[in-house]
Structure 1
């Protein structure tokens, strides 16, 4: 499995969990997936949520111009574009991270994000006499190779600051990309979809040597009655 597939596999679990509530009931039209950005007020949020989002949106950006440009470079190194796939900047992932940084109540996260960008520039300037965003891809990757891999058995508190910084940005990049229309389309995630249950497939029944009672099937797998709620008598017998 290549790196992109590995990252997608991790992201799919998070996306599936987060989007499970957006399925639809049988007979309802499936909502179209739209590329709504995290900071855009929308009708399905509460008035309070939209108020907070509007305040964040209209507030001052978290990253300055240099920091934003550096983040764009860093995020595209984490999830680069190719002929087959879109990259982080195609989904404007840095705006998502900027929003998260402004929305969070964690001052440590805010400090670590800006401190990590300072570390990248200092490291790159020391080794190449350039700020990180102006270095060559080879120079940038050489720096990231030193901090991109860590021993999972080592507690976060014992890892170097720069290693935790890169891990945080990698996680934010994946979350930001794979919760946009571009990312969801790449995953092939369809969400909860209405279907018709006809019982356990016949080949599975045959494999286990079991069969349905015809009377039970008539009561429980009659699709003409699929929207009728089941009723039971006091002894637990199915009535409808």
Structure 2
């Protein structure tokens, strides 16, 4: 797969639904791996900040799950000379947060990792994280594609698991500074406006009045705020 051409389109794609069960939370041993410090989030009201920090205090993924997901996410978005890997953007911490924020993800994520290890043990006698890249890709090739005509609730569990991780990986990566820079998104930035192009004006049979052109399109006056008189005539 060409990861940049085929996967960017699903950054905001739908994710697979969770099962009706919830996995048990592991011990706090893994806390050091993904726990973020309490901070104040710009643009968040105090209640939102409090809720976010409460989620950061919780722990869902255990060490084995963190290691396995890190490998899996990097297989979805691997590094190259031109691009960063999913792990460079700490995508697993994003998945951890999303699992705590939306508990419906938890059984699919935990169960999917268990499925990967079971499948790998059955096929190769090792856990997924210690298998060779070729072995890992061979397993993923079996679950990476699905028939869009088949509803999500009728697809095999492992297929929905991979779809969920893929979507979360893409969302997590392309909403970080690294991912945004890769896309080339600049956001809202000030620019210089030279007026409507001449060919467009000609197409609609209109033109600028010299007075308006001098006052509104002259870049040397771009810092001047326009003023009108009571009759609607432009003063400055």
Shorter-chain TM range is 0.7 to 0.9
Task: Choose 120-129 or 210-219, whichever is displaced more.
Answer: 210-219
Task: Please give the TM-score of this superposition, normalised by the length of structure 2.
Answer: 0.77
Are residues 140 and 72 of structure 1, via their aligned partners in 2, closer, same or farther at CA, if it must alter by over 3 Å?
same
1:57-102 per-residue CA deviation (whole Å, 9 max, x = no partner) reads 122x211011111100100000001121110111111011001111
Indicate conservation of the 8 Å contact 2:10/2:167, yes or no: no
Is residue 189 from structure 1 mapped to residue 185 from structure 2 by the alignment?
yes
Cα shift at 1:204? 3.5
Aligned residues: CA RMSD = 2.8
Is residue 127 from structure 1 mapped to residue 126 from structure 2 by the alignment?
no
Instruction: Pick from 156, 171, 178 the counterpart of residue 175 of structure 1.
Output: 171
Name the counterpart of 2:95.
97
Name the counterpart of 1:2.
2
Measured in 1, the distance between the counterparts of 2:107 and 2:228 equals 58
Cα shift at 1:160? 0.9
State the number of aligned residues. Answer: 210
Indicate conservation of the 8 Å contact 1:41/1:53, yes or no: no
Instruction: Pick from 112, 115, 118 the counterpart of residue 111 of structure 2.
Output: 115
Measured in 2, the distance between the counterparts of 1:64 and 1:85 equals 28
Task: Please give the TM-score of this superposition, normalised by the length of structure 1.
Answer: 0.76
Correspondences of 1:21-32 after superposition (within 5 Å):
none
Cα shift at 1:50? 1.0
Instruction: Pick from 60, 63, 83 the counterpart of residue 61 of structure 2.
Output: 63
Measured in 2, the distance between the counterparts of 1:130 and 1:115 equals 18
Are residues 91 and 40 of structure 1, via their aligned partners in 2, closer, same or farther at CA, if it must alter by over 3 Å?
farther
Cα shift at 1:184? 1.1
Name the counterpart of 2:206.
211
1:159-204 per-residue CA deviation (whole Å, 9 max, x = no partner) reads 1111111001001001111111111111111101122333221234
Cα shift at 1:10? 4.2
Is residue 52 from structure 1 mapped to residue 51 from structure 2 by the alignment?
yes
Are residues 232 and 128 of structure 1, via their aligned partners in 2, closer, same or farther at CA, if it must alter by over 3 Å?
farther
Measured in 1, the distance between the counterparts of 2:38 and 2:163 equals 23
Name the counterpart of 2:86.
88
Highest relative contact order (Cα 8 Å, sep 6+), 1 or 2?
Answer: 1
Are residues 135 and 64 of structure 1, via their aligned partners in 2, closer, same or farther at CA, if it must alter by over 3 Å?
same
